[in-house]
Structure 1
């Protein structure tokens, strides 16, 4: 009975950790949307900002990968 309760807590924690992946998706959307808005306002400056676009997407996506890692650790390390 006690093992089932611990397993249930691990699954609930993993589900809550997966909320970070949704946050990462929202973050990537904001980064790409703001880049697109800036590129449409000033098309000549867009090529100079492309590197910052990819850096921002990488940082936002790294947070999603970290939350996925935490979810996996909670599910399988118990």
Structure 2
């Protein structure tokens, strides 16, 4: 019977790494999008409604990526599909 504590530790480390990347990359993308929107607003203040609407839609899409990563990592942590192969 294989050692389950090593597998559990490895999957936890992988989950932490996945969450850190899955949150860091959308955060960078959000900062970049906000920066570009502010640049566009400073150049064309009359297009504020269009720029802000597009910015909020883009930010919602970026944030949904971070939520998907969190859901997948929680599924892997609490219901690891590979764990059943180790207990046989």
Q: Same fold (TM over 0.5)?
A: yes
Structure 1 residue runs of 5 or longer lacking an equivalent are none
Equivalent residue, structure 2, for 1:43? 45
Equivalent residue, structure 2, for 1:16? 17
- Following TM superposition, by how much is the alpha carbon of 1:77 offset from its aligned partner in structure 2, in angstroms? 1.0
Structure 2 residue runs of 5 or longer lacking an equivalent are 81-88
**2:77 aligns to what SS in structure 1?**
helix
User: Would the aligned equivalents of 1:13 and 1:74 in 2 still touch at CA under 8 Å?
Assistant: no
Equivalent residue, structure 1, for 2:34? 32
**2:10 aligns to what SS in structure 1?**
helix
Q: Greater helix percent: which structure?
A: 1
* TM-score, structure 1 normalization: 0.89
Number of residue pairs matched?
78
- Following TM superposition, by how much is the alpha carbon of 1:48 offset from its aligned partner in structure 2, in angstroms? 1.7
- How far, CA to CA, are the matches of 1:77 and 1:2 in structure 2? 18
Q: CA RMSD in A?
A: 1.3
- How far, CA to CA, are the matches of 2:3 and 2:76 in structure 1? 17
Structure 1 segments of 4+ aligned residues over 4 angstroms from their partners: none
Name which one, 1 or 2, has greater alpha-carbon Rg.
2
